[in-house]
Amino acid sequence: MRIDELKLRNFRNYERLDVAFAPGVNVLIGENAQGKTNLLEAIYVLALARSHRTSNNRNLITWEHKTASLWGQIRRATGSTQLELRLNPSGKQAKVNHIEQAKLSTYVGQLNVILFAPEDLKLVKGAPQVRRRFMDIEFGQMSNRYLYNVSQYRRILKQRNAYLRQLHFQTAHDRVYLTVLSDQLAAYAAEIIFQRVQLLRRLQHWSQALHAEISQHREELQFRYSTALPREQLTSVDMIYQALLQKFADNQEKEIQQGTTLYGPQRDDLRFLVNGKDVATFGSQGQQRTAALATKLAEIDLMKDETGEYPVLLLDDVLSELDDIRQTHLLTAIQNKVQTFLTTTSLSGVSAELIHDPRLFHIHGGKIDQ
């Protein structure tokens, strides 16, 4: 999978951009605040219909304009696809081959991307919501079903939390309705948790080999899905569903008292173990970075395994954050495998021995010179 052409209109500091990319490595060179990251963000938004930097569409639209548009020509093994996304402050309009998509879940997955930025090196050490977001974004690209379940879960969760608050303040009294919401929420939650467990098991398989190479076979990486449910009940959707229903029933008064849902995938976490120890708590910064790097690189192979296509890789100034050993493993892993976009302020930060025939794009003030 690759993106051959990109057209932007009124996106960030790009009032008008028409650019064609190489199938291999594309290096975006420029000083800070000139538009390198904005260009990577545009590819990310085109793929996922959301930004990794803001949740407000207004921030994506060039000042004094009311709308922004993104268009991309995507090449896959099955043929060519045109994607179009129009943004305004109140919403989005997505099209695939000129056909408007009623649901974004049918749009996402046409272009698969993996973004690797310096903050991703904090995947292991960061807050739990960072890892939940990581799972939802990456797994959502691999599975329309996962994306749909997450969307429905969030909708029901919002309703259930609102009703719990009504019960707390005694503006509502019908516990039967709470039971109905609990049943619906548990059904979607069970699907999400089961898919997370299964996909994490496969991601661990790919990550372990990479981690062993980087650590020179001195360390073993493992993933542990952290949830309030007993581990033996994570083996099927129905067992997870029944376990969650029991949790809701046993803790109904507690949830009403606190006015919020206390159990489910919105509370779960992902732990990284190195040689059996939690690396977030007991690992060095180097071990934490190695675990994060191995996990991000493993996504490439997992996505290929799940979708049949390698994703597009976006590297936002990440090489400057890695030492020579980790940089070598990163560049070796992507060489001749995936289309890559790499931002840098200088070519001195790019290993000429490991990147062959890159296409260079010099960016200044929202303009590109090739």
Q: Known binding site for ATP: residues?
A: 30-37
> For residue 241, with 0-12 CB atoms within 10 Å meaning exposed, 13-18 middle and 19 or more buried, which class applies?
buried
Residue linked to tokens 């199938």: 23
CA atoms within 13 A on the CB side of 321: 19
Q: What share of the chain is helix, strand, coil (3-state, %, to 5)?
A: 45, 25, 30
Type of residue numbered 17: L
> For residue 39, with 0-12 CB atoms within 10 Å meaning exposed, 13-18 middle and 19 or more buried, which class applies?
buried
The first and second tokens of residue 8, run together, are 């932007």
For 93-158, the three-class secondary structure string (H helix, E strand, C coil) is EEEECCEECCCHHHHCCCCCEEEECHHHHHCCCCCHHHHHHHHHHHHHHHCHHHHHHHHHHHHHHH
- Do β-strands 359-364 and 25-29 pair in parallel, antiparallel, or remain unpaired? parallel
The first and second tokens of residue 305, run together, are 């395994």
SS3 category, 21:
coil
The four Cα atoms 198, 200, 202, 203 give a dihedral, to 10 degrees, of 160
Say if CB 138 and CB 311 are below 8 A apart. no
Say if CB 33 and CB 370 are below 8 A apart. no
Looking at the DSSP bridge assignments, the partners of residue 273 are 222, 278
Q: Which residues are part of a known binding site?
A: 30-37
